[in-house]
């Protein structure tokens, strides 16, 4: 949600017919927090459990940081994704994009309802939900825009807190959108 007000620069320059007006805006986000899987709806709980299952296919020998995602489509199908690393680091891919691009390639036009993301490492205990990177948020935002329907996102900390937002736009209010590129 954007809110804002105006400030006027009333410096001596205003007397020379130059007056700067700046609008200050504020972005706020609404999200829900849950202390465990038992507080979620059955549908959301099952999706989080599926994201945990996706961790098993993570290929993360370099970071040791496994990420799993599970995406529920409107028809009930759940598509899994896991991070896939490469020794040439930029060549790897995050769990969210693996699942999203799988949907794009194998289920074009399918409507996405929700995505759950979780992470695990043997190197330390993860104490709070791990959120998506900017690249993944941008891809999620475009899927949301294409389908003209919000996608809810669950960030699930194994055996801990879950954060839920009802739209990707909440997480990336200034996502890159260029309508002229689609024509």
Q: pLDDT tens for the chain, 183 residues: list them.
A: 444 554 445 555 555 555 578 888 898 999 999 999 999 999 999 999 999 999 999 999 999 999 999 999 999 999 999 999 999 988 999 999 999 999 999 999 999 999 999 999 999 999 999 999 999 999 999 999 999 999 999 999 999 999 999 999 999 998 888 777 765
Instruction: Classify domain 31-182 at the CATH topology level.
Output: Cytidine Deaminase; domain 2 (3.40.140)
pTM of the model: 0.86
Distance between alpha carbon 7 and the CA centroid of its chain, in Å? 34
Catalytic site includes residue 111: no
Active-site residue, from 52, 96, 113, 144:
96
Residue 178 zone, left/alpha/beta (φ > 0; ψ -120 to 50; rest): beta
The structural domains of the chain, with segments of one domain joined by +, span 31-182
- Residue 26: count of CB within 10 angstroms of its CB: 9
């Amino acid at each position: 949600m954007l809110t804002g007000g105006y400030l006027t620069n009333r410096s001596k320059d205003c007397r020379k017919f130059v007056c700067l007006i700046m609008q200050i805006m504020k972005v706020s986000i609404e999200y829900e927090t849950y202390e465990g899987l038992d507080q979620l709806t059955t549908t959301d709980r099952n999706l989080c459990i599926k994201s945990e299952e996706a961790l098993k296919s993570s290929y993360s020998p370099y970071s040791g940081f496994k990420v799993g995602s599970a995406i529920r489509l409107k028809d009930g199908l759940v598509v899994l994704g896991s991070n896939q690393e490469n020794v040439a680091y930029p060549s790897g891919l995050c769990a969210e994009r693996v699942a999203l691009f799988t949907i794009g390639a194998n289920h074009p036009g399918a409507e996405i309802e929700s995505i759950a993301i979780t992470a695990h490492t043997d190197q330390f205990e993860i104490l709070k939900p791990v959120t998506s990177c900017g690249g993944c948020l941008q891809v999620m935002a475009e899927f949301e825009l294409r389908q003209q329907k919000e996608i809810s996102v669950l960030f699930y900390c194994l055996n801990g807190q879950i954060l839920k937002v009802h739209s990707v736009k909440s997480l990336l209010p200034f996502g890159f959108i260029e309508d002229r590129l689609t024509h």
